[in-house]
Amino acid sequence: MRRILYGVFVLLWISILVGGFALRHFLSTLPPTHLMEEYQPQMTTRIFDYKGNMVTELFTERRVWVTLDQIPVHLQNAFISVEDDKFYKHWGLSPAGMMRAAVKNFLAGRVVQGGSTITQQLAKLIFLTQERTMGRKIREQLLALEIEHMFSKPEILQMYLNQVYFGQGAYGVAAAARVFFGKTAQELTLEECALLAGLPRLPNYYSPIAHMDRAVTRRAVVLNRMRDLKYISDKEAQEAKARPINVMKSPAGPVVAPYYIEYLRQYLDEKYGSEQLYRGGLSIYTTLNVEMQGAAERVMDEALDSFDKEYGPQAETIRAKNKQDQMRKSGTVPKNYVVKVSTTVTKVQGALVALDSKTGAVRAMVGGRSFQESQFNRAVQARRQPGSAFKPFVWLAALDNGFTAATIMDDFPVAFQNNGNDWKLIETATDTYAIAKATATLKEDLVWIPKNFDGKYFGPVTLRRALAFSRNIVAVRLIDKVTPKKVVEVAQKLGIRSALDPFLALGLGTSVTTILEMTAAYGGIAAEGIRTEPYTIDKVVDFEGKILEEHKPEQSEAVSPDTNFLVTNLLKAVVSEGTGRAARIVGRPLAGKTGTSQDQRDMWFIGFTPDLVCGAWMGYDDFSPMGRRMASGGILVPWWAKFMKEALKDVPVKDFSVPEGITYAKIDAQTGYRALPTCPKIILEAFKAGTEPKDFCPVDHSAHSLNELETED
């Protein structure tokens, strides 16, 4: 007997020693639970529009942290009912649950049930893997005991409800509420709480998106359990079971303003890094106007689709097929008639940027027709020739150097010769014959003969009329007089950052730039000569509410108020009587300029009101010509105007303010002199005080008629 007791005693001590060493081993391999006091889960970064409405999210795990008082009591009770009904009574472990799980695991011959408490599940979610081994289970239990020692029950429940996975990329109850029901956690109803509480067991199996019948059955289980535990009455349970489940059909939803968001993302990723951007729970408050963005995307897409059908590479095929269909219906199809099918599928592209004229806030940005097909953002990455849309910078330089809207310039054929250092006007070359004679012996690359878009010449013309009808020859003569250097300085002061070649051709928009740059530069004109740096972010706030960055306006006077008003007044004439006439449908004071680059490869229109400046572009990515004799005035301006009309529908109509030092005088539209009552077309023109014409019109208009100019650019 003594020998048996001795053996038992030895075995007991051996067991204690082995158990002690095993416990020491497991304790030494536990993660440091004190880190939970500083624990921050991976959080979703949210992007908001200028009104504070959420637009989209950036995340690796979709999660928004909420405190326990923001989580409905029904949702708390639903989880406790199905996951751990003794949560408020145990100290981290449930012996009864462990025994029940042990029996099932023994019968199955493997680990099939854990019997875990909510505290154990939290330990596993934060510190451990999902593997089902005895070693992992022991660590889980030890961690649960330590967590219970360190935190209160409400703190543990809060961490768990913000950590648990619901499927569809949603981590935590707040993300799940938005993903499945499109609402905040506080707005969840009893039946919605029960449905969500049933998902973590098997998120994909019970998903109401994929398996509604299973979700309904699982919800009933949760409601019954809540009733049994007296959290709800039988009546409440039955009523909740009877209510339909209205989940969002596409939780992820379409990406709003994809080019705009990607433009933001690249900046944020570079500044804050991917870790903080995708997991830091940042709140990004942007300048985006969702309604305006939607209008821009819709209007541009419709216009470009229409262009493809009418003028694109497939247009000839479509017309041929339509003709064939008509002939078949009439029974007049010729023998051997074959439709020639084009294999070219190139689509015309477009881009648009809309800015707040006063602040520089980017309200809308469209970088192409389909972000899924091409992530290349043509609004900020494409550098194209702006064509005549660059001319306002030439006119600004001229108006700031003694020229007026009534100054007469010659719109006659002109030629320049390169003397080895610069291009010089050939004074004797005043018509086509004289140009041919003067350049006959010169090398071709040493001669430049600019031409007007329409191939016509109007003779002597005012600067007002020359800009309204986009006369290239006048632009070249003008930049020759004020020098390309001064034009470059004006453009750079207004915000053009792209390299500008200081040559005469600059006045025709031959140097490449971006739509955002050009639109922002016009924004300086719209803002009475004050250059404002365009921006897309109002502020960035971190997870704890600390402001990481906040927009501070970067402004500078680029153009004097009086000179700026004069060019604005001339750009209004582009819309009222010139190449931008199609923009008049906007129905309010408006200024702008058309632009068509060499060989019709690019079409531009940039226009503005006192409140909004918008630049739009059309062209092919491969620089193919858009079509002979096509111009932005008839192709692009109509859809630009359609967008602007919709974008400004709720904005009060107002005109551009007149600064001090501006005076008005009635002038003859043809000669630029002060008008007499006999002049056929009289214009009330703006001038800097003291620069208005002093002499009255000497022309006998009975012998002359003002050409009605019809041209586009």
pLDDT at site 148: 75
**pLDDT of residue 147 exceeding 90:** no
Residue pLDDT, tens place only, 390-400? 999 999 999 99
pLDDT at site 169: 75
**pLDDT of residue 316 exceeding 90:** no
Would you say residue 106 lies in a domain? Answer: yes
Tell me which of 189, 217, 242 is where a domain ends. Answer: 242
Could you tell me which residue, 661 or 418, shows the higher pLDDT? 661
pLDDT at site 23: 40
Residue-wise over 414-431: b if at least 16 C-beta within 10 A, else e? bbbbeeeeebeebeebee
Contact 403, 478 (CB under 8 A): yes
Contact 537, 287 (CB under 8 A): yes
Confidence of residue 335 (pLDDT cuts 50, 70, 90): low
Confidence of residue 600 (pLDDT cuts 50, 70, 90): confident
Tell me which of 214, 242, 270 is where a domain ends. Answer: 242
**Active-site residue set:** 83, 388
Would you say residue 277 lies in a domain? Answer: no
Domain that holds residue 675: 662-703
Would you say residue 111 lies in a domain? Answer: yes
- CA angle, 216 as apex, 214 and 222 as ends, to 5°? 105
Mean pLDDT of the region 179-186: 90
Residue pLDDT, tens place only, 665-691? 999 999 999 999 999 999 999 999 999
The dihedral of CA 444, 450, 454, 455: what is its sign?
A: negative
Mean pLDDT of the region 509-530: 97
pLDDT at site 653: 96
pLDDT at site 611: 95
pLDDT at site 314: 58
Average pLDDT, whole number, for the chain? 84
Would you say residue 623 lies in a domain? Answer: no
Phi, psi angle pair for 190, to nearest 5° = -60, -50
The pTM (predicted TM-score) of the whole model is 0.76
Confidence of residue 11 (pLDDT cuts 50, 70, 90): low
Question: How far is the CA of 611 from the CAs of 103, 393, 493, 600, in angstroms?
Answer: 74, 21, 21, 31
pLDDT at site 201: 87
Mean pLDDT of the region 428-443: 81
CATH number at residue 107: 1.10.3810.10
pLDDT at site 296: 97
pLDDT at site 701: 75
Confidence of residue 32 (pLDDT cuts 50, 70, 90): low
DSSP state of 582: G
Confidence of residue 362 (pLDDT cuts 50, 70, 90): very high
Q: Could you tell me which residues are beta bridge partners of residue 285?
A: 48, 539
**pLDDT of residue 146 exceeding 80:** no
Would you say residue 87 lies in a domain? Answer: yes
The dihedral of CA 285, 288, 294, 298: what is its sign?
A: negative
Would you say residue 678 lies in a domain? Answer: yes
399: Cβ contacts below 8 Å, ≥ 6 apart: 405, 563, 566, 567
Q: How many structural domains are present in the chain?
A: 2
Would you say residue 371 lies in a domain? Answer: no
Would you say residue 297 lies in a domain? Answer: no
Tell me which of 242, 272, 303 is where a domain ends. Answer: 242
Surface-to-core class of residue 484, CB atoms within 10 Å of its CB (0-12 exposed, 13-18 middle, 19+ buried): buried
- Which ranges of 495-535 does DSSP label H, i.e. alpha helix? 515-526
pLDDT at site 19: 43
**pLDDT of residue 106 exceeding 60:** no
**pLDDT of residue 329 exceeding 70:** no
